[in-house]
Amino acid sequence: MILEGITYMHEHTTIDLSRLKKSDDTNLNCFDETVSEYKNLYDKGVRNIVDVTNLDMRRNPLYVQKVAEQTGINIIQATGFYQDKFLPSFVTEASIDQLSSLMIKEIEEGIAETTIKAGIIGEIGTSKDRMTDRERKIFTAAIIAQQQTKIPITTHTTLGTYGHEQVAFFKEQQADLSKIVIGHVDLSGSTDYILKMLDEGVYVEFDTIGKENYQPDLLRIEMLKEIEKRGYQDKVFLSMDITRKSNLSYQGGIGYSYLLDTFVPMALENGVSQTFIDRMLRINPKKFMDD
């Protein structure tokens, strides 16, 4: 359930990718600093965060619930698996039915050993320019879980690649495209690439806002202007996908508030309408999650 207010649709309250990234920076376990940033977001009107940290990202549902309780922000947690190189051996051995049953259990009963129910499936991912066999199993299982529970699916595209193929796979498997969002599309740098997905009926996320080492935010804004001009204001979300301690303001990073404090004013100054901003941050997430 999405509360009235601003929603960040693709974030991580805590995440640990350090076993593969070989850097403690990618173990986002700074509880007090995260609480401080989320309280700041609450003061700016943020009421919901969709936390897409799943099983193989070393998720910690009780930690996330505690952050929610201390900040007043409604944090929606996820079920599912990530991208191939992060997948546990369990995925190799499990059947598609076992994987879908696990997701359904976490949606209907609770994540892991908790009673915290998942509100979204994801972020399920594909590798750069391809879908591996194990990723295909996860996508298939996610579609089965969606069909049974009507819960939305959120995806990861590595550097924005393989988005068209994800959509084609969902169509082939008769998934509900109106309940699917393709992630990280802003990393593609191509408006035409994104428009082709929007034409199919899925949602898309500009969810790496502020990560200018990948794309300049002004390019993201130019793409958003073209998407608005084409009439797809109802199908886009904004978020930041913060995953590192160094992203947070206490370490001199841009922090979770950058989206509202810096990016939104820049977008408005450069021709994105306030109506489109409100749709991406307030109206579209509520429709996607609650309908």
Hey, how many other C-beta atoms are within 10 angstroms of the C-beta on 70? 15
Where would I find the beta strands (DSSP E) of 91-195? 120-126, 153-157, 180-182
Q: Work out the number of other CB atoms within 10 angstroms of the CB of residue 22.
A: 9
How many degrees, rounded to 5, is the angle at CA 282 between CA 176 and CA 149? Answer: 30
Per-position pLDDT tens, the chain of length 291: 899 999 999 999 999 999 888 999 999 999 999 999 999 999 999 999 999 999 889 999 999 999 999 999 999 999 999 999 999 999 999 999 999 999 999 999 999 999 999 999 999 999 999 999 999 999 999 999 999 999 999 999 999 999 999 999 999 999 999 999 999 999 999 999 999 999 999 999 999 999 999 999 999 999 999 999 999 999 999 999 999 999 999 999 999 999 999 999 999 999 999 999 999 999 999 999 998
Strand, coil or helix: 205: strand
